[in-house]
Amino acid sequence: MAETRLEPEVKQVLEHMKNGENFLLSGGAGSGKTYSLVQVIKETIRLNPTAQIACMTYTNAAVKEIEERVNHKNLRVSTIHDFLWDTLNSFQKELKSSLLELINDKECKIKNPNQDSEEEYINSFDNGINYKEYLNIDRGEISHDEVLIVANHMYKHYKVLCDILKDKYKFIFIDEYQDTAPLVVEILLEHIQQSKKKCVIGFFGDSMQSIYDDGVGDLNKYTDIGFVKEVQKTQNRRNPQLVIDLANKIRIDTLTQEPSKDMNAPNMKDGRIKQGKIKFLYSSNNDLDKIRNTEFFNGWKFDDAKLTKELNLTHNLIAPKAGFEELMNIYDKDPIIKLKYEIVTKIKKDNLVIDEDATFQQVVTQVPIRNRQRQLKIDLIINNPSDNLLYKQLKDLPFSQVRKIYIDKDSLIDDKKDDTDDENKKGSKRDNLIKHLFKIQTLIYLYDENQISEFIRKTEFRIDSIAKKREIKAIIDSIKGMSECTIDEVINFADENGICKKDDKFNTFRERNEYLFNRVKQVKFKEFQNLYFYLEGFTPFSTQHKIKGAEYENVFVILDNGNWNNYNFARLFGDGQGSENVLVRTQKIFYVCCTRAKENLIVFYHKPSQTIINKAKELFGDDNVRKC
């Protein structure tokens, strides 16, 4: 690569690297940060042909993209969790010792659920420590979150690990750094500095796009003291001028974007930056179907998910529109599991002693709930006919068994999944029932799309004759016609016909999660099909978190908190109360939403105050704020 073709920002980064300085390349939405990362990697390889380079990123999809752009024997591209685990895996003695130490540390988040909090946990971990999808302390199996905690502990306490890491890699790059856990940043910028060996750490990303609460957000702590040198990339290659102007007003840091000088950039036309269209709509009613049919959406294709996206803050707001409300209610609003959580919280808070042989009903009756509202809630659950049917399934079981029942909506929707291959990889939160259903629906999709080789790879059904081809077509057609059947009926049909057999993971899930399985199996299969289409991006609906990194011709943003007090759109527009943290979090999610638009952006607010309308005019311009 000739140096004259390098971006100016890349040249600045290379100068910092030449001086042995850690760096941060900050770039706003649509600035081409991945392109810059690839340039830096290629030039680093050219200048240092024998050096090993590590590049860590957030998702398997991003790993795949970088590997396709740069293929070199000295480059290791991986997710952060996989990278850290690979550096620890061979140090089993230290792993065992560290895990025991962390489990027995009262301040640590790693706990054995079967352990009495007062007694010391002892385990020889004869089968070693292994990185798995789920946590099982007794078997020495740690999952996604625990890998980071253990890695941070080991790099802090074992200097030899720091020497080994720096010996192996002279350059370590982190893509989408803002989503990286603080524990990882501590490892790279604090713990490994115990070693005097040379290693340059480089970060790429945008603090305004740090929309996950478990991410570090920014590196101000390190840039302010000069330990990390910041380089800003100000160009915008995606958004039209009006969206760029709006985004600059929303940003809360020192970076101001401007149109790219590249005449071939996607947001340029005939040598000039596209102007685009932005609107802030508001109404006294909340009839979105009616609003979508107004003149403001002329030409929008809501049936084309690749061109148009409607962004809501939560899956709960989308579920009724996308048609998987019953599944969402099971995973997120189960009344009996919520009751169980309330009781467990009370037991822990008051250090209550519960008889080991007590049933769930006995504990519900015995645990004193001083809060009258909670007691009324319990009475309502027990006396409500539909809830009572659920309660009856568990009331006579040992409380020790009910206590372990865990239902989490991430097991259903798994927000951070980025491609169709990721659902079975480390860190996925989908449970094995949902994964099994995904296998069935994915096989239908592959068959319909005529991706036969991939279809054959994923099914146990052997297609070795014309008769078998006819048979598999009949089976697929039958499943496609089973939308009104229950999930249980479809699972059994797919198993009996050999297209998707019930494997050990499915059977173990059914055995260990009987209550959840019994609820889900009665739901109509079309509910899951709707969930599948939504999660795979085949619908115009998306959460505002899920679309980070994506771009669309038309973007429709619904400003509705959905009773989620982590966000406050009224405060964003100068009205209402809320903490500074909530405001910053809301500013960032709004920035991410607006900067997805390549042509048209429309934001809708239901019943705004005059203060909100005035702020909207300040941001969007008087002519772009309209009542509908």
List domains and CATH numbers for the chain. 8-81+158-233 (3.40.50.300), 92-145 (no CATH), 258-313+544-627 (no CATH), 335-406 (no CATH), 411-536 (no CATH)
Q: Residues 552-584: pLDDT tens digits?
A: 999 999 998 777 788 999 999 999 787 999 999
The beta strand positions in 300-398, using DSSP E, are 308-312
The residues facing 312 across adjacent strands are 543
Which of 103-107, 237-241, 323-327, 422-426 comes out lowest in average pLDDT?
422-426
* Residues of the binding site: 27-34
Alpha-carbon distance 547 to 315, whole Å? 13
Query: What is the structure's pLDDT at 385?
Result: 63
Query: What is the structure's pLDDT at 109?
Result: 80
The residues facing 203 across adjacent strands are 24, 174
Sign of the C-alpha dihedral computed for residues 497, 503, 506 and 507 taken in this order? positive
Which residues, 6+ apart, have CB-to-CB distance to 292 below 8 Å?
Answer: 300, 302, 556
* Residues of the binding site for ATP: 27-34
Q: 438 versus 61: which is more confidently predicted?
A: 438
Q: 548 versus 275: which is more confidently predicted?
A: 275
pLDDT of residue 188 exceeding 90, the answer is yes
* Closest by CA position to 412, among listed 546, 535, 526: 535
Amino acid at 391: Y
Which residues, 6+ apart, have CB-to-CB distance to 144 below 8 Å?
Answer: 81, 426, 427
89 pLDDT band (50/70/90 cuts)?
very high
pLDDT of residue 377 exceeding 60, the answer is no
Q: Give CA separation, 394 vs 339, 352, 358, 404, 518, in Å.
A: 12, 21, 12, 12, 12
What percentage of residues in the chain have a pLDDT greater than 90?
65
Collapsed DSSP state (helix, strand, coil) of residue 595: coil
Query: What is the structure's pLDDT at 94?
Result: 97
134 pLDDT band (50/70/90 cuts)?
low
Sign of the C-alpha dihedral computed for residues 517, 519, 520 and 524 taken in this order? positive
Query: What is the structure's pLDDT at 170?
Result: 97
What backbone torsions phi and psi does residue 385 show, to the nearest 5 degrees? -55, -50
Sign of the C-alpha dihedral computed for residues 369, 372, 377 and 382 taken in this order? positive
204 pLDDT band (50/70/90 cuts)?
very high
Please work out, in degrees rounded to the nearest 5, the angle formed at the alpha carbon of residue 194 by the alpha carbons of 192 and 200: 45
Which residues, 6+ apart, have CB-to-CB distance to 102 below 8 Å?
Answer: 108, 110, 149, 150, 153
Collapsed DSSP state (helix, strand, coil) of residue 245: helix
Query: What is the structure's pLDDT at 235?
Result: 96
The residues facing 204 across adjacent strands are 25
Q: What is the arithmetic mean of pLDDT over 511-521?
A: 94
Q: What is the arithmetic mean of pLDDT over 20-28?
A: 97
Q: Give CA separation, 383 vs 337, 379, 380, in Å.
A: 16, 6, 5
Collapsed DSSP state (helix, strand, coil) of residue 625: strand
Q: Which two tokens stand for residue 495?
A: 């198993």
* Closest by CA position to 403, among listed 367, 438, 370: 367
For residue 620, how far is the Cα from the chain centroid?
30
Q: Which two tokens stand for residue 318?
A: 């989308």
- How many other CB atoms are there within 10 angstroms of residue 207's CB atom? 21
Which of 100-109, 177-186, 366-375, 596-605 comes out lowest in average pLDDT?
366-375
Q: Residues 404-429: pLDDT tens digits?
A: 888 888 889 875 444 444 444 444 57
Query: What is the structure's pLDDT at 381?
Result: 62
What is the average pLDDT value for the chain, to the nearest integer? 89
User: Looking at the chain, how many residues does it have?
Assistant: 628
